[in-house]
Chains A and B, each alone.
Chain A
């Protein structure tokens, strides 16, 4: 790229955040927002992991008295709610926030201020749940909170409300983030990146975002109904009042199942990127991979009932959901095949990110196969709500999403910080985490088959469960130690790591064309691509186009399918309004835990901040159709 110094200086001046605290509070830089998400979520992962270790400690001996039932129930509720709502999904969104604009060679997300708003609101959800924990109103009914147990009769106090409102926070944030990611991928691709030339990573993020947009409303609806039941005595879920307890489960799992794939599909994007780079070869079966993802995304909405096989629904209906659930093994299996085929055809380089992918295959396939077993409506009656399911879900979520995520961290870390993580310590962390995880969770399959139910704070001696529980505890501790090595390695590398250069791995996609770490404007010029692997095509030469003004925040808008340049769009500047709007929304959400009037009164500040946010401050006519002469 020919980058002349004055252009870079002008871009930098235009895109840089204000210095100090003002910049911190007003930034709309997608990289800073994503980094906040990642740091927050990793810290929460540590806290929730400590809760898990504590629970493992409690279960390592029969009739242990380390934890009271109340503390245990709070611990697993907080662990599950945090890991699913505040760690997994936000981490995947953060990876999208960080990488999507870079991989598109554009300067920011489609809606920069909405991105800032997403983070602040997510952070509000984090504070709601964990401050509640600090002042001992921790939710204690699991991450699912089925009524009538969570209804007003059986859960007085505000524990259940805290949980339900935490969901509202994170789901509004997730919806905003998903709309942002989807719009960015669809409308801001560089010239030449038609849909058929879009890297699998971007497909994954697009599909996950669309799934989020389609599934999150169900859980927001169901938690709002629960709050209404508790706050204003509606009877959505109380059979005595003409409601139905199962309605909650249907709505919850209509969201809850796609949720799993909202976590898994982005991970398949990481895997595809890493496998391609470290096999030094274009991915085998691009179309098959993308079609598999799309079919996973579609099927995910048709199998929620497999979480409800034991509730006594009509048997033939259950068999339909069995078939639908098992059918997902076909696209998932084809994806695995494509990655293995890419390795087979390529020249592999076994650096740490690639090791994580091998760990992923060895572990996730076990989770997928135990998923096939639980998908059977008949067999599930023996497996559901036992430790077999605990094993299954951790194999799928940790093996299927967290391992690729750790690989993705190791892979993109040099791009984000400009420094390389230590390969040696990376391998130590890999061995500890993958080994400890398998040692910790494999025995849980057998515990489940030996009859140990889930969510029990203790169990009687003489059931034959103690040895396996102790193995599980030891394995979890080893995995946590590995996690600390991983984080320590990252922290050490941040200050002391070897300089990485722009493209340490020889990556295939556009993010590697920017400097490491990328400047606020990402790239000096808009790239033009001719294939699936722009960094490898044309012998490493990257065409660029010109025409965006360096003295204004401008981005290029292109057409949805063919990425034909359409507009120069003004991109929003740093602003305090997203933070203020998030504060106003948070105040309304938290107030509504205590009184329905908070919705009425709280609407005024929300309206005021949104008015401030959208107050017209720029002459419209200055952005307009782009004169392109092909």
Chain B
């Protein structure tokens, strides 16, 4: 019974190593200090627990073999030996647990090692089912808003302040750190120190209603210069580049502006995500669809078909109007 289980687990581990290389949402591919500390702890624990498992199964197999053999020696002595072994087993368990508790304690400290240091503050607020993300504009000192896409400068600690606008959510970017809940009426802090550039994926991990499965966000770790440029672009209002007088802009002002904001225009709704630079994002509807003009148009036309239960209502539009609206949004870079 033991052997097939072991060969199965070896093959699964092999599969795991192969797939871990591509993990954009995986604790097994750490890309930050916090995730690295946790990855190390995971390895220590897996090794210790694996050894204990082999020890227990070895003991069981030995016991079965002895119990089935005919030749038995002095039973009184055997019982004394087992009695001694009980104490040894208790000792082994206590030593093992002490190692693991200590390792856990130090990994926990590592997660919060940056807490005393200066860090860039970012606010993330969970909503059913999207993420409001706010950065401080270095030029003006004001908070500027974006949604569903988090950018992090490489090698610098970002301190994320987490809360919720409705129910409990949980913020998880496993490649960079562990998860922390977003609880209405509370503010939690999570330090992220990324060490590898690239795109990663974050997700909500606390069940938050019908579309919990479609509450993800993109994370981009980039060189500090690139990050500064991105932040500068985000801080600017949309009006600078995009034509605000076209058909699409007018439609947005009448059909969408009650819930969505586009800085630099008359659209100032706060119920839904800020769309000032939506076309610069990688995905729409909290990681549900890739950012393309077609996806934008589909999402505007049939949000309830793509993400049943979402707060975004289906807006009745003529085909030409939907086209114009999507064209307008696709220019908001």
- The residue from B26, B46, B100, B213 contacting A457, defined by CB atoms under 8 A apart: B213
Q: Is A192 an interface residue (CB 8 A)?
A: no
Q: Is A369 an interface residue (CB 8 A)?
A: yes
Contact A340 B59 (CB under 8 A): yes
- The residue from B20, B22, B60, B107 contacting A378, defined by CB atoms under 8 A apart: B107
Query: Closest chain A residue to B104 by CB distance?
Result: A376
Q: Is B166 an interface residue (CB 8 A)?
A: yes
Q: Is A40 an interface residue (CB 8 A)?
A: no
Query: A359 vs B2: C-alpha distance in the bound complex, in angstroms?
Result: 10
Query: Closest chain A residue to B203 by CB distance?
Result: A453
Say how far B44's CB is from chain A's closest CB, in angstroms. Answer: 9
With A337-B89, A358-B1 as known contacts, state yes or no: A381 contacts B178, CB within 8 Å: yes
Contact B180 A344 (CB under 8 A): no
Contact B67 A334 (CB under 8 A): no
Query: A172 vs B9: C-alpha distance in the bound complex, in angstroms?
Result: 43
With A381-B180, A439-B8, A451-B25 as known contacts, state yes or no: A341 contacts B38, CB within 8 Å: no
Contact A446 B12 (CB under 8 A): yes
Contact A312 B86 (CB under 8 A): no
Query: Closest chain A residue to B106 by CB distance?
Result: A378
- The residue from A370, A378, A450 contacting B16, defined by CB atoms under 8 A apart: A450
Query: A459 vs B287: C-alpha distance in the bound complex, in angstroms?
Result: 11
Say how far B194's CB is from chain A's closest CB, in angstroms. Answer: 16
A329, A333, A341, A378: most-surrounded residue (chain B CB, <10 A): A378
Q: Is B233 an interface residue (CB 8 A)?
A: no
Interface majority SS on A: helix, strand, loop or mixed? helix
With a CB–CB cut-off of 8 A, which chain B residues contact A376?
Answer: 41, 45, 100, 103-104, 107-108
Query: Closest chain A residue to B182 by CB distance?
Result: A312
Q: Is B308 an interface residue (CB 8 A)?
A: yes
With a CB–CB cut-off of 8 A, which chain B residues contact A457?
Answer: 213
Contact B108 A377 (CB under 8 A): yes
Query: Closest chain B residue to A456 by CB distance?
Result: B213
With A284-B82, A377-B104 as known contacts, state yes or no: A446 contacts B56, CB within 8 Å: no
Say how far A373's CB is from chain B's closest CB, in angstroms. Answer: 5
| Residues 199-214 of chain B, each 1 if its beta carbon lies under 8 Å from chain A, else 0 | 0010111111111110
Q: Is A455 an interface residue (CB 8 A)?
A: yes
Query: A442 vs B94: C-alpha distance in the bound complex, in angstroms?
Result: 27
Interface stretch (choices A65-73, A204-212, A523-531): A65-73
Query: Closest chain A residue to B210 by CB distance?
Result: A69
Q: Is B181 an interface residue (CB 8 A)?
A: yes
Contact A149 B168 (CB under 8 A): yes
With a CB–CB cut-off of 8 A, which chain A residues contact B4?
Answer: 435
Contact A245 B26 (CB under 8 A): no
Contact B209 A449 (CB under 8 A): no
**Chain A: number of interface residues, binned into ranges:** 35 or more
Interface stretch (choices B184-192, B220-228, B252-260, B271-279): B184-192
List residues of B (263-296) whose CB comes within 8 Å of A's CBs.
287
Contact B107 A69 (CB under 8 A): no
Contact A381 B210 (CB under 8 A): no
Query: A365 vs B2: C-alpha distance in the bound complex, in angstroms?
Result: 13
Q: Is B53 an interface residue (CB 8 A)?
A: yes
- The residue from B9, B59, B183 contacting A311, defined by CB atoms under 8 A apart: B183
Say how far B164's CB is from chain A's closest CB, in angstroms. Answer: 9
With a CB–CB cut-off of 8 A, which chain A residues contact B189?
Answer: 312
Query: A434 vs B1: C-alpha distance in the bound complex, in angstroms?
Result: 10
Q: Is B57 an interface residue (CB 8 A)?
A: yes
Query: A244 vs B185: C-alpha distance in the bound complex, in angstroms?
Result: 8
A288, A319, A369, A386: most-surrounded residue (chain B CB, <10 A): A369
A141, A446, A451: most-surrounded residue (chain B CB, <10 A): A451
Contact A345 B79 (CB under 8 A): yes
- The residue from A148, A154, A285, A451 contacting B26, defined by CB atoms under 8 A apart: A451
Q: Is A81 an interface residue (CB 8 A)?
A: no
Q: Is A560 an interface residue (CB 8 A)?
A: no
Q: Is A596 an interface residue (CB 8 A)?
A: no
With a CB–CB cut-off of 8 A, which chain A residues contact B101?
Answer: 322-323, 326
| Residues 228-255 of chain A, each 1 if its beta carbon lies under 8 Å from chain B, else 0 | 0000000000011000111000000000
Query: A450 vs B18: C-alpha distance in the bound complex, in angstroms?
Result: 11
| Residues 605-623 of chain A, each 1 if its beta carbon lies under 8 Å from chain B, else 0 | 0000000000000000000
List residues of A (310-366) whose CB comes within 8 Å of B's CBs.
310-312, 315, 318-319, 322-323, 326-327, 329-330, 333-334, 336-338, 340-341, 343-348, 358-359, 361-362, 365-366
Query: A457 vs B309: C-alpha distance in the bound complex, in angstroms?
Result: 13
Interface stretch (choices A42-50, A181-189, A461-469): A461-469
Contact B168 A69 (CB under 8 A): no
Query: A359 vs B309: C-alpha distance in the bound complex, in angstroms?
Result: 43
Contact B82 A345 (CB under 8 A): yes
Query: Closest chain B residue to A344 by CB distance?
Result: B63
List residues of A (376-396) whose CB comes within 8 Å of B's CBs.
376-386
Q: Is A372 an interface residue (CB 8 A)?
A: yes
With a CB–CB cut-off of 8 A, which chain A residues contact B239?
Answer: none
With a CB–CB cut-off of 8 A, which chain B residues contact A456?
Answer: 212-213
Contact A381 B177 (CB under 8 A): yes
| Residues 267-292 of chain A, each 1 if its beta carbon lies under 8 Å from chain B, else 0 | 00000000000010000110010000
With a CB–CB cut-off of 8 A, which chain B residues contact A148?
Answer: 166-168, 184
With a CB–CB cut-off of 8 A, which chain B residues contact A334?
Answer: 86, 89-90, 93
Query: A284 vs B35: C-alpha distance in the bound complex, in angstroms?
Result: 45
Contact A326 B100 (CB under 8 A): yes
Query: A464 vs B12: C-alpha distance in the bound complex, in angstroms?
Result: 13
With A310-B178, A446-B16 as known contacts, state yes or no: A381 contacts B38, CB within 8 Å: yes
With a CB–CB cut-off of 8 A, which chain B residues contact A379?
Answer: 38, 41-42, 45, 104, 107, 178
With a CB–CB cut-off of 8 A, which chain B residues contact A341?
Answer: 63, 82, 85-86
With a CB–CB cut-off of 8 A, which chain B residues contact A323?
Answer: 101
Say how far A167's CB is from chain B's closest CB, in angstroms. Answer: 18
With a CB–CB cut-off of 8 A, which chain A residues contact B201?
Answer: 451
Query: A205 vs B264: C-alpha distance in the bound complex, in angstroms?
Result: 69
Query: A338 vs B178: C-alpha distance in the bound complex, in angstroms?
Result: 38
Q: Is B154 an interface residue (CB 8 A)?
A: no
With A146-B168, A443-B12 as known contacts, state yes or no: A239 contacts B90, CB within 8 Å: no
Say how far A512's CB is from chain B's closest CB, in angstroms. Answer: 22
Say how far A83's CB is from chain B's closest CB, in angstroms. Answer: 17
Q: Is A514 an interface residue (CB 8 A)?
A: no
With A149-B168, A382-B178, A450-B20 as known contacts, state yes or no: A340 contacts B308, CB within 8 Å: no
- The residue from B53, B67, B204 contacting A348, defined by CB atoms under 8 A apart: B67
- The residue from A329, A372, A386, A459 contacting B45, defined by CB atoms under 8 A apart: A372
Query: Closest chain B residue to A346 by CB distance?
Result: B67
Q: Is A404 an interface residue (CB 8 A)?
A: no
Q: Is A454 an interface residue (CB 8 A)?
A: yes
With A245-B183, A344-B82, A385-B179 as known contacts, state yes or no: A450 contacts B41, CB within 8 Å: no
With a CB–CB cut-off of 8 A, which chain B residues contact A340?
Answer: 56, 59-60, 63
With a CB–CB cut-off of 8 A, which chain A residues contact B203?
Answer: 451, 453
Contact B94 A330 (CB under 8 A): yes
Say how far A95's CB is from chain B's closest CB, in angstroms. Answer: 25
Query: Closest chain B residue to A459 by CB distance?
Result: B213
With a CB–CB cut-off of 8 A, which chain A residues contact B71?
Answer: none
B23, B63, B287: most-surrounded residue (chain A CB, <10 A): B63
With a CB–CB cut-off of 8 A, which chain B residues contact A468?
Answer: 12, 15
Contact B107 A329 (CB under 8 A): no
| Residues 116-134 of chain B, each 1 if its beta carbon lies under 8 Å from chain A, else 0 | 0000000000001000000
With a CB–CB cut-off of 8 A, which chain B residues contact A434?
Answer: 1
Query: Closest chain B residue to A288 by CB distance?
Result: B86
Query: Closest chain A residue to B283 by CB distance?
Result: A460
- Top 8 closest pairs, chain A to chain B, by CB: A381-B178, A239-B185, A456-B213, A376-B104, A344-B63, A451-B25, A312-B188, A369-B49
Known contacts A69-B308, A451-B174, A453-B203; 19 further A-B pairs (Cβ under 8 A): A69-B210, A149-B208, A285-B86, A310-B206, A319-B104, A323-B101, A337-B85, A340-B59, A358-B1, A358-B64, A361-B57, A376-B103, A381-B38, A381-B111, A382-B42, A438-B5, A450-B16, A453-B172, A468-B15
A to B CB contacts below 8 Å, 7 in the list: A70-B210, A239-B185, A245-B185, A369-B53, A373-B46, A379-B107, A460-B287
